[in-house]
Amino acid sequence: MFIHTKSAMADYDTIVAGGGISGLLSALVLSRHGKKVLVLEKDDIVGGNCNSYMVDGFQVDTGPHAITHLREGPLRRLMDEYFTYMPFFVDYGHYYVRTDKGLTKIPSNIKDFVTFDVLPRKDRLLLSQALTKALTQMTFGMLDENHPVYDFLPKGLSLDTYDFVNAISYFLSGKSMKETSVSRVLYGSSFVRDSVSVDVFKDDEALPDTSYASVITDMLSKYQLRGHLSSLSRLATNKVAYAQAYPRGGLKSILNAVLYSMPDTVQIKTGSRVCKILTDGEKAIGAATDTDSYISDTVVYTGFAKSLPSLISLPSEYKQDLSRIDQTLSLTIWLGLKEKMKEFDYTGSEVWFRGGAYWAMPISNYDANIAPKGKQLVGFTFVIEEKKDIESEKKKALDLIMKAVPGIEKNIEMTHYQVTIPEKAAVTINGFFAGTRSPVKNLYLAGTDTDRRSMGVTRAAYSALELLKAMKEDKKL
């Protein structure tokens, strides 16, 4: 092993272990604050779960993606402050639920529950009451973060409604309604923004004048909050949804914008797995791959926090915490269709929840260049259990798609499977998030297992901002 020591001087100000979107955003931010950065990525390409590639003429992403909180969230802040190249975003569209009757918009406010006839009328009423109660309690800090969705559901709901709530929980947290907290559903759905700013609770719309309004009003007066919360009706009157988008050119456009914005003071080495974080006494001083060692003032680790104990000696209590990080395994099936189908004539995504659940997005509807001329590309994502045989999970998933979209099998020209861990930590009730600082001096963490806010790329952006904040506080910047 060759060790660069440059007469005890650090080669770099910061080494970033991992070149996924979190690592690259961290490198960009630090370099723009004057740091010389080395990114070490184990794979032959950077991007991790944020990338796109070609399969038989179709450009697939690493899973169907909705990029959230774009109007004023963390990615917007990073783009405004640090990007010199901008991805172009296309308005996301809507969230639908597919049943054998076709597509119905998923309600994003309580008022819309009135017409959401996918669920029985009685269940809708019970659910809106429960939802109003949860929102009210949450706003005033009365809702325990660990309260499972399942426990909050009223008694007497139909099986169909349970399946629907379960599918939404899986979509928002990666886990079932028993492991997902109510606050996660409220934040993750459009009902509450998780980059919460006070204006979420501004009185800018009157309550809807429906029978549901009286239900809500009753609930609000019960909690003596009426004036304060008349904005419940505003919550995601789909204004919030407009802050979601898909990057034109595919997911790789976000990655490329970060890479093109990177100053020369960032060096990226692919095919370089960090197998050890180097220490001197109590502090981190660099990182080693199989072939090289690099010295730096600080190290930012963006691989699985769960795997950190294999790279550096850590206090046992911290290791115990890291072992509590929950993860979800997903299967995405990309179907390249010979011709466009009327069933997928929309932008946005759909959820199927009967006899199994999927989340699907026809991404070529945002940008025709993603599929060959006249053809269509749709991605379907399923949550799968690690213990189960992947091949039989694939077959089961494909069968469910055929059941949900009759006739699709005649139109399939390309089938491509991806088995991935979408986020390094699922937001479950007992799941742990590592945070930015580690117990080792000069060793920081970034990535989707360090910050529980939002999801995916947005969460990665939060983690880069938190890194910046922590390093500023620690006088490293």
Ligand X SMILES: Cc1cc2nc3c(=O)[nH]c(=O)nc-3n(C[C@H](O)[C@H](O)[C@H](O)COP(=O)(O)OP(=O)(O)OC[C@H]3O[C@@H](n4cnc5c(N)ncnc54)[C@H](O)[C@@H]3O)c2cc1C
Residues that bind ligand X (CB under 6 A): 17-23, 40-43, 48-50, 62-67, 273-274, 302-303, 330, 332, 381, 420, 422-424, 447-448, 455-458, 460
Based on CB atoms, which residue is closest to ligand X, 105 or 269?
269
CB of 74 to ligand X, least distance (A): 11
- Residue 316 burial by CB count (10 A; 0-12/13-18/19+): exposed, middle or buried? exposed
DSSP string, 259-321: HHH--TTEEEESS----EEEEETTEEEEEE-SSEEEEEEEEEE-S-GGGGGGTS---HHHHHH
Specify which residues 293 forms β-bridges with: 3, 288
CB of 294 to ligand X, least distance (A): 12
Based on CB atoms, which residue is closest to ligand X, 114 or 470?
470
Residue 60 to residue 56: CA distance in whole angstroms: 10
Based on CB atoms, which residue is closest to ligand X, 50 or 118?
50
Based on CB atoms, which residue is closest to ligand X, 70 or 119?
70
DSSP string, 369-389: GGSSTT-EEEEEEEEE-TTS-
CB of 423 to ligand X, least distance (A): 5
On the CB side of 287, CA atoms within 13 Å amount to: 30
CB of 110 to ligand X, least distance (A): 24
Based on CB atoms, which residue is closest to ligand X, 143 or 241?
241
Token readout for 386 is 């690690």
Token readout for 403 is 């059941």
CB of 316 to ligand X, least distance (A): 22
CB of 42 to ligand X, least distance (A): 4
Based on CB atoms, which residue is closest to ligand X, 222 or 469?
469
Q: Which residue type sits at 48?
A: G
Closest CA to 29 of 75, 67, 88: 75
Closest CA to 332 of 402, 383, 368, 366: 383
Residues 6+ apart with CB under 8 A from 138: 182, 183, 186, 192
The DSSP letter of residue 1 is -
CB of 219 to ligand X, least distance (A): 32
Based on CB atoms, which residue is closest to ligand X, 362 or 447?
447
In this structure, the number of other CB atoms found within 10 A of the CB of residue 131 comes to 23
Residues 6+ apart with CB under 8 A from 60: 52, 53, 54, 334, 377, 379, 416, 418
Pairing of strands 283-288, 292-301: antiparallel
CB of 420 to ligand X, least distance (A): 4
Based on CB atoms, which residue is closest to ligand X, 73 or 336?
73
Based on CB atoms, which residue is closest to ligand X, 372 or 379?
379
CB of 133 to ligand X, least distance (A): 29
Residue 31 to residue 40: CA distance in whole angstroms: 15
In this structure, the number of other CB atoms found within 10 A of the CB of residue 276 comes to 15
CB of 52 to ligand X, least distance (A): 11
CA angle 17, 22, 24 (to 5 degrees): 70
Based on CB atoms, which residue is closest to ligand X, 22 or 128?
22
State how far Cα 218 lies from the chain centre. Answer: 35
